[in-house]
Amino acid sequence: MRAGSLEIARIFASAAYARIFQRRMRNAREFARHWIGSRLLHRSGLDAYMTRFYGVSSDQIGIELAHKRMQWISEHGSLRAILGRLRRQKPQAPTNRQLARPREGFSLLYAAAAKALSSRGASILIGAALDRIEKRGTRFALFVDGRMIIADRIVSTIPIRRLQTLCGLPVSQQLETITLLALYFSFEGMRGFDEEIIYNFSYDGAWKRLTVYSDFYGRAHGREYFGVEVIANPINKSVDQAEAEFRSHVAANGLFRGDLRLEGSQFLENAYPIYRNGADESAAEAVETLRAFGIDSFGRQGGFNYQPTARVSTLEAEAALRQGAKSSAETAR
């Protein structure tokens, strides 16, 4: 509303024009533009965030991803939804519990899972080097650190291209992934905001999100601490460049005025898929080829399937359960 009546009129005019004359939706940018108009798409920073998040320009992001991951835009931007909100009184906001990882880190959660699996007879190898996988009749030979393990079934969650190499199958060159760089800071001073999490919707900087962990766990030695996620691909995986860009960007916006100290950093390869046009089809074909080979490949890396929301995960879990029930019924018949 602070943009003023003239800018608001321009935004609505842009949205109306897009609804009537820009109905063709071939990629994520055209999908968002149709529902909110070019002016708001740019002004909100949504276009910049899509490009930063997925590592490619929004007009190169496949329409399939837009339908799966950005459906909230069409749900809230439809004329029926807008009229419905105008007719009814604003509902009371739900009271949500906010859950944070344990102070000890994820190792505490993994230890509980490992204990439960071990009690059921599972053996767990950590930090083992995979050499290759061979198909031997209906069974598999997995070579790990120079020794061989025979198995009736393999379920994989590692990157598809790595699994294809292990199996001696053609490697899908089109499947690209994001490398994330985490910068860990401590801070003492005036940070300039109250929220625990900030997303970068501006057109500057390679960082996309920061999380103030001390808001959940308390300060350490009187200092706040937080993590910053940076898309490493555009900055040539340089910690120095990422830190310099972040410091410059927050200073220009009046954030973190005081003693800001970099405490450490960490790279995560294959963090999530880059959904360039056609990547969905290539991933589905690769997963089907692996299934024909006899290996089930699932998850963010193994299925090239990034699930950013609990809603998407729930929908996909329900679909899998329906498919399982259908298969069981067909088997029974």
Q: What structural domains does the chain harbor?
A: 5-87 (no CATH), 106-175+275-319 (3.50.50.60), 177-273 (3.90.660.10)
**pLDDT exceeds 90 at position 230:** yes
Task: Output the average pLDDT for the chain.
Answer: 85
Weakest mean pLDDT among 56-65, 171-180, 183-192: 56-65
The Cα–Cα gap between 99 and 59 comes to 35
- Split at pLDDT 50, 70, 90, the class of 300 is confident
The Cα–Cα gap between 175 and 213 comes to 33
Strands 295-297 vs 154-156: parallel, antiparallel or unpaired:
parallel
Instruction: State both tokens at 185.
Output: 């800071």
Q: Cβ of 251: how many Cβ atoms within 10 Å? A: 12
pLDDT of residue 104: 86
- Distances in Å between the Cα of 22 and the Cα atoms of 14, 30, 38, 70 are 10, 8, 10, 18
pLDDT of residue 319: 72
**pLDDT exceeds 90 at position 177:** no
**pLDDT exceeds 80 at position 208:** yes
pLDDT of residue 120: 95
Alpha helix ranges (H) inside 205-278: 214-217, 239-252
Instruction: State both tokens at 298.
Output: 């699932």
Weakest mean pLDDT among 26-30, 52-56, 234-238, 304-308: 304-308
Question: The whole model's pTM is what?
Answer: 0.77
Higher per-residue pLDDT: 248 or 44: 248
Residue 128 DSSP one-character state: P
What's the mean pLDDT in 274-296?
A: 88
pLDDT per position as a tens digit, 77-131: 666 666 565 566 555 555 556 667 788 888 998 999 999 999 999 999 988 999 9
The Cα–Cα gap between 11 and 29 comes to 16
pLDDT of residue 324: 64
**Number of helical H runs and strand E runs in the chain:** 13, 10
**pLDDT exceeds 70 at position 189:** yes
Q: Which of 174, 245, 173 is nearest to 206 (CA)?
A: 245
Alpha helix ranges (H) inside 102-218: 106-119, 160-167, 214-217
The Cα–Cα gap between 203 and 263 comes to 26
What's the mean pLDDT in 140-155?
A: 93
Instruction: State both tokens at 202.
Output: 């501006």
Rg (CA), the chain: 24
Specify which residues 210 forms β-bridges with. 198, 228
The Cα–Cα gap between 104 and 110 comes to 11
pLDDT of residue 211: 94
What's the mean pLDDT in 264-278?
A: 88
**pLDDT exceeds 60 at position 48:** yes
User: How large a percentage of the chain has pLDDT more than 70?
Assistant: 84
pLDDT of residue 98: 60
Higher per-residue pLDDT: 299 or 94: 299
**pLDDT exceeds 90 at position 76:** no
